[in-house]
A and B are shown apart, each in its own frame.
Chain A
Amino acid sequence: MDDLSRFKQTYFDESAELLAVAEAGLLRLAPGEIDMDEVNAIFRAVHSIKGGGGAFGFNDLVAFAHEFETVMDGVRNAEIPVTTELVDTLIRANDVLARLLAHAADETDAPAGTTDETVTALRRFLDKTGAPAEEQLSAPADSLYPDDEDDEAGIFGDALAAIQAARDDQPATVMSAPVPEGKLRWTIVFRPKAELLLSGNEPTYMLRALRRLGDAEVVCHLDKLPSLRDLDAELLHLSWTVTLLADPQIDRAQIDDVFEFVADDCDIRISAEAPPPAIIEPADPLPAANLPEPAAPGSPPAAPTPATTPGSPGAAKTGDGAKRGNGGDHSGPTTHTIRVDLDKIDRLVNMVGEMVITQAMIAEHLRDLPPGQFQELLEGLESLAQHTRELRESVMSIRAQPVSSVFSRMPRLVRECAAATGKEVMLVTSGETTEVDKTVVENLVDPLTHMIRNSIDHGLEGPEERERIGKPRAGTVHLSAAHRSGRIVIEVTDDGRGINRAKVLSKAIEKGLVQPGSSLSDDEIDNLIFLPGFSTADQVSNLSGRGVGMDVVRRNISSLGGRIGVYSTPGEGSRFVLSLPLTLAVLDGMVISVGDERFVLPLTNIVESLRPKPADLHGLVNKCDVMMARGEYVRLVHLHRLFGIPKAIDDATKGLVVLVETEDGSRLGLVVDEVLGQQQVVIKSLEANFRRLDGVAAATILGDGRVALILDVAGLREMSRHGAGNGAITQPSSFLPAPADRSDQRQRQTV
């Protein structure tokens, strides 16, 4: 990856965050209650995207962002009233911006006309005000320095005029002139590093921002300018000296703000000179890198709060949010975070997993030592165990993210769904700070989207109906997250009409999912909605009703090792409960043994384990056994036959049957020798160095350092179907000496 593409990636990462900030802000923006901080945050976000986009030459994007930004600026200056229409348009504009970014990231061109409609809509708001917002920005502009965004010549023109002075290495300033009464003269020497432009910063913005603080005279130094032959267009060879005649109320912090984003990338020297009698400001030049300096009395901390410092809107205009990843925070100083490549963290997680295993192995060996001796060794081991446990937890927590990153997308969804269905919906969220592994968070978006749509579309009644039955007009959807016994539990609750069981049942029968005449409990009926192809909606709407919904949700959730349940009270609402593991790197499993081999079954698949009585077993034609378990016939699968393992127990009444349930709810009885116990295992890839195997989901390393395969229950069922349960699947299982000798069955000692 070359340098530029690395910067690009950073830009896209940041833009994604900025878009989210803007969207969150836009969603909170409502007529009547305008939070200026919010408006500014949105403005900054859009502006940063634009600035960075300009640096990479994404012209479409920049042009569009400019339109967007102009309207935001109008809002900021209270020229454009905040209306629902405006907010809707802005949200659309944010989407368009996201699309343009996606195209830029893919290095494809956005289809022509992508932006047209939105641009027209945006421009309508500007026309209403009659005054292009742009002009409002140009504070007390000096006619010498036309403050038009596109007029770079203004600055460079002056600079070029000063070439001679710079070449002659003379101080090209008006240093000697007396400082006028009531003014303060600041001298700002701004020497950016050559790489400044690569991070998407634009010095002209900064110079322009300085000019807004007072009368500025800008001198450009060309001493570093190489000859044309050596000129690298990507690099910045210029530096500037700005002499600023400002009102006394302009303080150091406001000037610092201008350079906030570039403080690390340049050398800035700021000094002040007051008219002889006035002592307003300490004028000593401070080290430039120390920008968040506490020395400026009464000034806000480093973060610009443009709403309260009207003189420095330019601070937000410096083009890049490099140091402010989430651009919209109001909290002030830079948050102490770093971006780390996920691979690096994964390697760390891996290594810690190894440590845990090694430590468990040592512990196992030391257990055989004669008691009473080696006390210190054992104590040392004990604390090592504790440290590794803590280390593992902290490493896992690096990957953990609050679910708020998913939850924050939901208001938007609710808004859209409400609009599409004509219902009034209030979304209440709680527990957003609950943390869960990054991969889990990422995979939560789709299921939650489905579930919330489903709740609004099917669950909630329309406002009139709600009023008639004495409920508040607006329905409530409650989204909550919490940690519970090592798992994360997410609930989606609505106060709608609940599941119409009669309708569900009749639909299920109609679709052949349930035999007519079968009697199902309320719970069982509720759970029918998770069956593939099930839908109660009479009409297919845009939102739902195609019958791909809850079954997809269920599949997604179980592929994450989770479960979903539904609880419904007619007339009062429904509650969907998701329970998920906190991480995908670790799995709760049950270790089972078959012959000399050990396997791990994911705990989420296991219903129960039992030892059948001979009377429970029945043979079917093709050697396929079934077992009566809790009033239900369950097909038996002999794991040793399937996998060709010798010396295993064949007779289910002598071994154990583990009743497992696949993702789609069908059950299977796995015949194994023994269940050894529950254990958390670290999931390891088998494919990384080998390949996928039928019936095997992944592998893991047990406490004794041996590898055990993690079984894929759905895959086992597939295999047993094709192979009719006699072990010959892909080829004769010749990898073991002989499949024979089943008479040599081991007697099980314990259950």
Chain B
Amino acid sequence: MSSSTAIATVNSRTDIQPAGAAVNGTEEQYVTFTVGSEEYGVNILAVREIRGWTPESRLPNLPDYVRGVINLRGIIIPIFDLRARFGGGPTQVTKRHVVVVMQVGERTRGILVDAISDILAIGHDAIKPPPDVDSGLVDAEYLSGLYTAENRMVTLLNVEKLFAGEHADQDPGPRTPALEAT
């Protein structure tokens, strides 16, 4: 369990020095991370914590980007593999891999990424609309925009849409589960 200690807890916007653009009213902070050579960003307000990789328990009969579930201080949260989600195949995890724990609506979930890279303050104006992605793997609606930071491109993700297919409402589960967690 020792390896499961949180690397960082992101709970406040004030103690983070924005890197990049000057602070003005319309900018928001994004946590960026890498998957392979790509860099992605999510709104910092959705991020609950960042923790080291702990072995997951697999869930049966699900697509490969659902890695499984882990125990986050007593609640059970699913872990999604961002690489697999974008068609890169399942990540071969090492101890250096990182899980970004996010709050998406009512639900808490983790996404497995290679490494955290930065926290950026990004003004609304600096976000470019996503181009038509024709790879078929990632729908444009999963992306909320593109941002260029010091000659690298950051893809900003719309996390709610990205994992919308994994909501319980899609699978109401008509049969009575024998056990009701209390």
Contacts and interface: CB of A to CB of B under 8 A. Distances in A.
Q: Is chain B found bound to chain A in the same assembly?
A: yes
Interface of A: 346, 349-351, 353-354, 357, 361, 439, 558-559, 561, 584-585, 587, 597-598, 602, 642-645, 663, 683-699, 701, 704-710, 712-715, 718, 729-731, 733-737
A733 B60 contact: yes
Interface stretch (B6-14, B132-140, B154-162, B172-180): B172-180
23 contacts: A439-B180, A561-B179, A645-B60, A687-B168, A689-B108, A690-B78, A691-B166, A691-B170, A692-B171, A692-B177, A693-B60, A693-B62, A694-B61, A697-B179, A698-B177, A698-B179, A699-B57, A705-B4, A708-B57, A709-B60, A715-B175, A730-B61, A735-B58
Contacts of A695: 60
B61 A693 contact: yes
Interface string B32-71: 0000000000000000000000111111111110111111
B34 to A, nearest CB: 23
Given A693-B59, A698-B180, A706-B71, 9 more contacts: A349-B182, A585-B181, A597-B58, A684-B181, A690-B69, A694-B61, A701-B74, A704-B1, A707-B76
B74 A686 contact: no
Contacts of A718: 175
Given A689-B107, A709-B59, A735 B66 contact: yes
A713 B62 CA distance: 19
- The prevalent SS among residues of B at the interface is loop
Contact of A642 (B59, B60, B90): B60
B109 interface: yes
A643 B59 CA distance: 8
Interface of B: 1, 4, 54-64, 66-71, 73-78, 90, 107-109, 166-168, 170-171, 173, 175-182
A439 B179 CA distance: 12
B61 A361 contact: no
A686 to B, nearest CB: 6
Contacts of B171: 691-692
A730 B76 CA distance: 23
Q: Which of A561, A690, A729 has the most CB of B within 10 A?
A: A690
Nearest to B74: A354
Contacts of A684: 74-76, 181
Contacts of A714: 175, 178
Contacts of B180: 439, 584, 683, 698
B71 A737 contact: no
B177 A712 contact: yes
Nearest to B182: A585
Nearest to A355: B74
Contact of B58 (A349, A354, A559, A736): A736
A157 B57 CA distance: 76
A706 B168 contact: no
Contacts of B62: 693, 735
Contacts of A733: 60-61
A653 to B, nearest CB: 24
Contact of B167 (A357, A691, A701, A731): A691
Nearest to A733: B61
A585 B74 CA distance: 13
